[in-house]
Amino acid sequence: MRLRDLSLRHKIPLQGAVVILATALMVTASLVYRASVDLEHDLKASAERLARVLARTLTPLVIHDDVWRAFETVRTPFQALDAGDAARVEVIVVLDDKGRVYVSSHPERYPILGDPARANPELAALAGPLAALSGETPVTVEPAGGRNIYVLAPVIADGVRIATLVMGYSKSIFAQRFGGIVENALLMTLLVVAAILPIAWYWGHRMAIPLVRLAECMRLVGTRKPEELECSLRESRDEIGQVGAAFQRMLAELRKKEAMEKQVMVSERLAALGRLSAGIAHEINNPLGGMLNAISTYRRHGGDALPPFAQGTRGPCSECALPGNLALSQRTLSLLERGLLQIKETVGALLVEAKVESHPLTSRDLEDVRVLALSDAHPKGVRLTWDNRVEAPLPLPSTLVRQILLNLLLNATRAVEADGRVECGIRVVDECLEIRVSNDGAYISEHEQQYLFEPFSRLSQNGNGLGLWVTYQIVQQLGGSIRVHSEPGETRFIVHLPVSPEHEIRAPAGAVLG
């Protein structure tokens, strides 16, 4: 997991801890550097003071050539200091005016009147500083690549240098002291970090909690209803509080929007129900009115008397050759039969929820629909272009798929003018049965498309307007989709039905109406 993918409840404390550690290390490094510089300066100043004191003490001894007392003098720093402090002074050598050893703290290594460069090659590098030495001020020299640091102090008598004091210090003393300083500084840093880090972690965690809660609430948006979202966010005037307040306002607006959508849905359902009821009443009232008129006419003109429309009629028709009452009865029964059939068709088209047994869809079922559609297309001279690419049986209810296809073909045929064109393409695409039916009939505007699949939505004077509504209901129950694209010169309906073995070959049936 990458650092940027961590939760803020961990990321903020970690970043705070890193900042604290980096700051502590930087402060420690600066303090250690400053302490090391001060240490080196103090050691050199202390060595120069000691060299100045020894040089003044050696002046009368060198004048009187008192070598023994001079030896005791240069041995004094080793005897006066304890072993730990004495170890920092490696050697003390007094050189005469000719650069030979006059006396030393280690005579076995630096014999009297011997060449100091032979005993210690580092002293050969002091030839230049010794020649340039003047006055009474000691000089500190650090030979390149050497193990020691040397302090040169002239021994002056009456303004003349009669000897030179050379004191050698090991560089290891700086490393020892520097190591001690670093150890103490790191220990103090760790103590400070150990004291501050828990506090920083606690405050970082507290700072991240509002953001984490806000993120959790925002993650639930879209997965739960706004009315089910209850988020307890911190109220404050900082940026986090402002974001939380904006989120609460957004939730409130979403709740209002959902309530308004429910009201609109209820209103639309009521309006659709009203349109459906009005359409059903209209479709049933028309044949009922004719039937009632026929019954009323039969009552008034029944018996032996002929009705006004039957008196004086002559012709080859069978009704006119019949006695008056019999002809009136035949006409009345014919009107009643047509009215009842019309009512039956209207009611049958509304029975979308009825269940019928159906076998899997085959290519033969689709070809049968083509034959039925051609019976309507030929009288109008409509050219039907057919492209059926379904070969193997599909686990779809054949009755309903045939009803969908036939409804679309009949509507397309009725929508075109004489000698018009209707095209139908059927194939399987991405585990879906795709049905495309297009025609060159009248253009359907976007406003009309909004009400296209509602019951009794008439795009022509033919049919009762239930065909597309029934088609839409069947497509929805089969888990598919239906779309319409219309432009001047072509209107195309596209149906996608998922092909799945889990489809139960039982489905709603409706009437095949246009």
Q: What is the fold of 3-178?
A: Beta-Lactamase (3.30.450)
| Amino acid letter, 88 | R
pLDDT of residue 206: 75
pLDDT in tens, 330-385: 777 877 877 787 677 666 656 554 445 568 899 998 998 888 888 888 888 999 99
Mention every residue, 6+ apart, whose C-beta is less than 8 A from residue 134. 154
Tokens of residue 316, six digits? 């080859």
Q: Dig out the tokens for 388 from the structure.
A: 């059926």
Q: Measured between alpha carbons, how far apart are the two ends of the chain, in Å?
A: 61
pLDDT the model gives residue 350: 62
Closest residue by Cα to residue 499 from 437, 428, 435? 428
DSSP 159-217: TEEEEEEEEEEETHHHHHHHHHHHHHHHHHHHHHHHHHHHHHHHHHHHHHHHHHHHHHH
Is residue 302 within 8 A of residue 332, CB to CB? The reply is no
Backbone angles phi, psi at 107, to 5 degrees: -65, -30
Cα atoms in the 13 Å half-sphere on the side-chain side of 80: 8
pLDDT score recorded for residue 282: 65
Q: Regarding the domain delimited by 353-509, which CATH topology (the fold level of the hierarchy) does it fall under?
A: Heat Shock Protein 90 (3.30.565)
Per domain, the residue ranges of the chain are: 3-178, 228-279, 280-348, 353-509
For residue 100, the SS3 value is: coil
| Residues 325, 17: Cα–Cα separation, whole Å | 109
The sign one gets for the Cα dihedral 342, 344, 347, 348 is negative
pLDDT at 372: 83
**Which residues lie closer than 8 Å to 512 by C-beta, 6 or more apart?**
403, 406, 407, 410, 467
d(CA 107, CA 93): 9
Predicted local confidence at residue 510, as pLDDT: 40
Q: Which residues of 191-229 are buried (b: 16+ CB within 10 A; e: fewer)?
A: eebeebbeebbeebbeebebbebbeebeeeeeeeebeeb
- Per-residue tens of pLDDT for the chain, all 514 residues: 566 666 666 777 777 778 888 888 888 888 888 887 887 788 888 888 888 899 899 999 989 889 999 999 888 887 765 544 444 688 899 998 888 999 998 889 899 988 888 888 888 888 888 888 887 888 888 888 778 888 999 999 888 888 999 988 887 777 777 777 788 888 888 888 788 878 877 777 777 777 777 777 777 777 766 666 667 666 667 767 777 777 778 778 887 888 888 888 777 777 767 777 776 776 677 678 777 877 877 787 765 444 444 444 444 444 444 455 677 677 778 778 777 876 776 666 565 544 455 688 999 989 988 888 888 888 889 999 999 999 899 999 888 898 899 889 988 998 899 889 999 999 999 889 999 999 998 888 888 887 788 776 655 444 556 778 888 888 988 889 999 999 998 999 999 999 875 544 444 444 333 3
Which of the 8 DSSP states describes residue 1?
A: -
Residue 309 φ/ψ region, left for φ over 0, alpha for ψ in the -120 to 50 degree band, beta for the rest: alpha
